[in-house]
Amino acid sequence: MEPISYDKYTKKIIDQEEGIVFKNKTFFVALLLIMTLRIVSYFTLFPSSVGLTRVIKVGLRFALTGLSFVVLLWLWSKLKNHLQFYYTNVTSALLYCAYALLGVASIYWSTNVTFTALQLAMLFESIAYVFVFYHMLVMYNEASSNHATFDTLLSIGIGLISLAFIIGLMIAPETFYRGTHGGTVHRLGGFIINPNELGMLAVIGVAMNYLQLFNNKYKVANVVFLGLNVAVLLLTQSRSSLGAFLLVTMVFIVKSKNYKLQAATIIGGVLVLPVLVNGIIIKQGDVEEVMSMTGRLPFWSDLLTYGFPERPILGYGFMSISPSPFTDKFDSIHAYAASMTHNTFVQVLINLGLVGAFIVLMQMVATVFAISTSRLEDLKVLAIAMLIPLIINSITEFGIFGEANYGILFYQLVIVFFVINCTTKEKYRSL
């Protein structure tokens, strides 16, 4: 008897199961909601109530992870006889686990055990979510001929979030706007999210829109979402995110090999740059603020001069940067007091010492190696487009190795892009 081909099996499932698995719109919407709500779970949805915000944040994250696990089990029960998972570039994933396990060990020497334990719980929950969600996503895409690609989910999800922020700004500006520089500068994000973090999210959304447009997908929707994301980016007045946006745009312009478009971009950049410098980069003509990166440079200097030498090998404990067990803030002499370093690499050096910094460096090298050696061109471009805003944000904010944020979520996803794979059993046997 002639064996059933994969194409014939797919058709059979559609006939017998009424399209429950393959190219099912309901399943696509479910994946979109799970990913979008996961991003939303990092927002401060109720700024007036710290307790309620924490309950919703933690509860929503665990609920989404649990839901993803249930859906994965259901999907696996349908397809386990025809699909096969396999794993590549496991070194990057193992090194990330080594970083997390060093964090667990640091509980024994942390100067802020409660905060260390909380951040570790959030880190491992995020790892669990990414592990489960991406297994579910690659399995569904293998079974549906890439019906729900990751860039499609993010382009729609982040576009809808940008729309929500713009609507929120119109309805409740006191909540969605944050005043800085004595109230003379207003930045979108307000009490919901740090404007720089929102700017980073908008740039990732822009990158996903570019990817979709380059692949001729949903052109009208992506042009609209692109406009919304750029509007949000400009309203956040985030200088780091603006730089990331320009770099991402340049990457895609060069990739297009359209010389007229490249020339127009250069001319447009020259014309727009003075407006950006005066309106966003130099606020109120304060050049000194720009040169000190809003006080970050003297803060980092104090951290490395006075904080690091006290515990250079293993640091102060996971996400703890203060030498005092009675405070969660490092009191800088020349800048400000803060509980995080505003630089994810300095953060690792201070809270996990030279050992942690070495593991993180090796982990990033392994991730870059996995990206550079991949034969999946679309996946490589996707990873690079995500890493540009993630790394730039990591230099000035929470970052990919900082306190719980969706930057960490996205970096973990970049790692598993090249680790978790799914194919048919027939194809797997020929690998």
> In the prediction, which pLDDT does 187 show?
84
Mean pLDDT of the chain: 85
Residue 269: pLDDT over 70: no
What's the CA gap between 63 and 66, in Å, rounded?
5
Dihedral sign for Cα atoms in the order 206, 208, 212, 215: positive
> In the prediction, which pLDDT does 4 show?
36
Q: What mean pLDDT do residues 288-315 have?
A: 82
Cβ(302)–Cβ(332) below 8 Å: yes
Cβ(311)–Cβ(352) below 8 Å: no
Q: What mean pLDDT do residues 230-246 have?
A: 89
Residue 6: pLDDT over 60: no
Calculate the dihedral angle through the C-alpha atoms of 72, 73, 78, 83, rounding to the nearest 10 degrees: 60
What's the CA gap between 383 and 114, in Å, rounded?
34
- Confidence band (pLDDT; 50, 70, 90) for 16? very low
Q: Which residues make Cβ contacts (< 8 Å) with residue 70, sequence separation at least 6?
A: none
> In the prediction, which pLDDT does 281 show?
53
> In the prediction, which pLDDT does 272 show?
56
Per DSSP, the residues of 161-178 read: HHHHHHHHHHH-HHHHEE
Query: CB-hemisphere CA count at 13 Å for 159?
Result: 22
What's the CA gap between 244 and 207, in Å, rounded?
10
Q: What mean pLDDT do residues 294-316 have?
A: 90
* Residue ranges per structural domain of the chain: 6-429
> In the prediction, which pLDDT does 3 show?
36
> In the prediction, which pLDDT does 73 show?
93
- Among the residue ranges 51-55, 117-121, 300-304, 330-334, the one predicted with the least confidence is 330-334
What percentage of the chain reaches a pLDDT higher than 90?
55
> In the prediction, which pLDDT does 261 show?
58
Q: What mean pLDDT do residues 92-114 have?
A: 96
Look up residue 277 and give its amino acid.
V
CA distance to 65, 105, 112, per residue, from 117 (Å): 19, 11, 9
- Confidence band (pLDDT; 50, 70, 90) for 293? low
Look up residue 250 and give its amino acid.
M
Q: What kind and span of H or E run contains 338? A: strand 337-338
> In the prediction, which pLDDT does 1 show?
32
Q: What mean pLDDT do residues 131-146 have?
A: 92
Q: For residue 136, what are its two tokens? A: 């579910």
Cβ(328)–Cβ(112) below 8 Å: yes
Residue 407: pLDDT over 90: yes
Of 172, 236, 176, 186, give the one whose Cα is nearest residue 206: 236
Q: For residue 425, what are its two tokens? A: 């059993």
What's the CA gap between 118 and 61, in Å, rounded?
14
Residue 233: pLDDT over 70: yes
> In the prediction, which pLDDT does 11 show?
41
| pLDDT tens figures, 191-216 | 899 999 999 999 999 999 999 988 88
Dihedral sign for Cα atoms in the order 351, 353, 355, 357: positive
Cβ(397)–Cβ(197) below 8 Å: yes
Q: What mean pLDDT do residues 362-372 have?
A: 97
Q: Beta strands 337-338 and 420-424: pairing type?
A: unpaired
What percentage of the chain reaches a pLDDT higher than 70?
84
pLDDT: which is higher, 299 or 367: 367
> In the prediction, which pLDDT does 143 show?
86
> In the prediction, which pLDDT does 13 show?
45
- Confidence band (pLDDT; 50, 70, 90) for 149? very high
| pLDDT tens figures, 21-66 | 456 788 899 999 999 999 999 998 888 788 888 888 999 999 999 9
**Partners of 86 in beta bridges:** 421
What's the CA gap between 345 and 296, in Å, rounded?
13
